[in-house]
Amino acid sequence: LAFAVAMVVAYAGTERLGRPLTDDEKKRFGALLREHDYPGARLVALHFAYKLTRSIGRAQELMGRVNLRLVRFGWDPAEVALVKRLCRLVWSEWTHALGDTEKGRRVEEAFLRDFEATEGPVTASTEQAAVALETATATHARAATQLAKLRAAFEAAGDEVNLLVLKYASENGINPSDMRKMAEASGRDVADFKSAAERRKRAVRKLLAQEGGVDLNDKES
Amino acid sequence: MSSRHPAAIWQRLVDETGEEAIEAAVSVSVARAERDLVAAGFDVAAERAVAVAQIDELASGRVVELVPLDEVLARGGDYLDDKERAELHRALTESMAEADAGHLTDVDDVLAEIRAAR
């Protein structure tokens, strides 16, 4: 009895490896991408990037960053399909770029310069560390501003459940998506938090869209 | 970072919102993505070629060089020094003069030459 065994080999990424890829690793990663129709998956991810950015140039730039992240952070085919991995990276890169500041760009560019050729391990210089600290401050300010806007929107809409979600998230550290814990903490029904989650996602989508200057609510036809 | 930190809370909210958008994105077929991208003005063949080139570079064991657009633009749109840029402009001027004179090469021939050289 003969049967074939499909080998699913995860690509660890240079971040986890802590070193550049060897030629053999590059070849295996290339073969893995080819096996999973990387060109097709990349087009779907580019489609998503364009939907988010509404700009050919920005979508292409976003995909450039996604490619770098894929090489750096890797991909496990057993865990997630390539197209989803790429789309997650698109979302992550896009939402981070929205809060991008000049300082943030300097950090990013410094990182990219270190990384682009994968010729050596990425090390944070003192200057990078200092800039990263300033960036963290800007990130904190941006998040606080967005949360204040979200709270104001929930107050204006009389959305008591989502105000509770923000309260328990900030005071108790409960994940907003953890409806069971939210229900336990508040004594309300889990169903209240399910419907609140939909309203909350719409509100967050609206804030992101405002920040990015795009409309994220248009439905796929 | 503490889970109570504003940045951590905002990131969790962005992540939960993103899952829905990502699910919608991955439900798009490659054919549909291609059609929409063409309609938006993308050169889909070129985009596919970029992906194939990335795989080929990896498969050949060579380094993939990806450069952020911001950095390129900050350097005047290329990585050339003044001398190299002057040479490029001179070559482009010569090339345009050749094109004006009708000394053209079919793009298929050029691509075939490049492929043969790989």
Residue A6 neighbours by CB distance under 10 Å: 6
Nearest CA in chain B to A172: B4
Sequence-distant contacts of B4-9: CB under 8 A, at least 24 apart: B4/A169, B4/A170, B4/A171, B4/A172, B4/A173, B5/A140, B5/A143, B6/A140, B6/A143, B6/A144, B6/A147, B6/A170, B7/A136, B7/A139, B7/A140, B7/A142, B7/A143, B9/A143, B9/A147, B9/A166, B9/A169, B9/A170, B9/A176
| Inter-chain touch B70–A166, beta carbons under 8 Å | no
Distances (CA, A) of A125 to A104, A128, A138: 15, 5, 20
| Inter-chain touch A220–B28, beta carbons under 8 Å | yes
pLDDT at B94: 82
- pLDDT tens digits, residue range B39-79? 999 999 999 999 999 998 888 766 555 555 665 666 666 66
State the Cα–Cα distance between residues B17 and A53, nearest whole angstrom: 17
The angle that helices A126-157 and B6-26 make with each other, rounded to 10 degrees, is 80
The identity of residue B92, as a single letter, is L
pLDDT at A135: 63
Enter the pTM of the model: 0.67
Q: Which two tokens mark A161?
A: 């459940």
Task: Given the cut 0.95, state whether the ipTM is greater than it.
Answer: no
In chain B, residues with a C-beta closer than 8 Å to the C-beta of A88 are 18, 22
| Inter-chain touch B51–A43, beta carbons under 8 Å | yes
pLDDT at A18: 83
DSSP state string for B24-61: HHHTS-HHHHHHHHHHHT--HHHHHHHHHHHHHHHHTT
| Inter-chain touch A68–B30, beta carbons under 8 Å | no
| Inter-chain touch B68–A65, beta carbons under 8 Å | yes
In chain B, residues with a C-beta closer than 8 Å to the C-beta of A109 are 68, 70-71, 74
Q: Please state the φ and ψ torsions of residue A75, each to the nearest 5 degrees.
A: -160, 135
Smallest CA–CA distance, residue A76 to chain B, in Å, is: 17
Q: Please state the φ and ψ torsions of residue A213, each to the nearest 5 degrees.
A: 70, 30
State the Cα–Cα distance between residues B75 and B81, nearest whole angstrom: 9
Smallest CA–CA distance, residue B76 to chain A, in Å, is: 15
pLDDT at B93: 81
With a cut of 70, list the residues of chain A below it in pLDDT.
1-8, 99-136, 213-221
pLDDT at B77: 65
- pLDDT tens digits, residue range B80-95? 777 777 888 888 888 8
pLDDT at A119: 44
Report the residue count for chain A: 221
pLDDT at B115: 72
| Structure letter (DSSP) for residue A19 | S
pLDDT at B113: 78
- pLDDT tens digits, residue range A20-41? 888 888 888 999 999 999 999 9
The secondary structure element, H or E, covering residue A16 is helix A14-17
Smallest CA–CA distance, residue A1 to chain B, in Å, is: 34
Q: Which of A38, A48, A91 comes nearest B51 by C-beta?
A: A38
- Which of B3, B5, B9, B54 should we substitute to test contact with A (largest number of A Cβ atoms within 10 Å)? B9
